Structure 1
């Protein structure tokens, strides 16, 4: 079996369309880096633990999300610390990396952007990570795709209800 360090990194991209939602309306939800728990499914906690909110170097602690891996310890909580690498309000894009955690993601870097469309917008989530023990590339792709679809649905509902961050 190949060592994870000698295998090529997994790369992927997911994109979801939000018909009727303007990119300028959706971007603030994503730019609010330390409130991902409002949008990402099963994420119960997202708090700033370092740096200035919305500025490169800001670190958020995310916990409570579920993955496909079962743990024998019923008190097990999945968690990661994620560092904001860049934020580009004019391009409606940000990038972050996972710098610590207990879910096996090493060298994970992601870029998330909101793209204007004629009839709304799209959210694109691009990522790169070293192979993750217990996962397959397609499992990770589905995890991110499902999460992004639920995020988009929740954001669209918030806009329809007039709820802003």
Structure 2
């Protein structure tokens, strides 16, 4: 089974993924600030993150005051990646609410190149598939009508249809 993707937004700058399994988490356009520190070193505050799940909420004393936070984990490999600010008890810190801290040691930049599995960038013209219907038979399946057969046909033409209706 392949990697599970909850969401993959349009790529808006460099993509960021889990260091453990390379699952897409967010992109650089979601960055609010890079001036944070986590338990493993430097960390980045992002407005949004995808393909994560949240742990239990708890009260934590941090450098900027007391916050209600939840740990965030990769939804694919379950590694801890950082935390999410649920509620700031210090009024000047409310801008962090709902945003996610990802520790830089636990995430990696992802390759922007996506492999084209169906060769859409192939410059050759597409081949016509062999289609056989009642109207379009292959030459080996049915002989064509002669002009005399088609003129004596009992079917009415489309112009006959329009005159009658």
Which bin holds the TM-score, normalised by the shorter protein? under 0.3
More helix by proportion, 1 or 2? 1
Greater relative contact order, per chain length (Cα 8 Å cut-off, separation 6+) = 1
Tell which structure's C-alpha radius of gyration is larger: 2
Tell me the TM-score normalized by structure 1: 0.27
Tell me the TM-score normalized by structure 2: 0.27
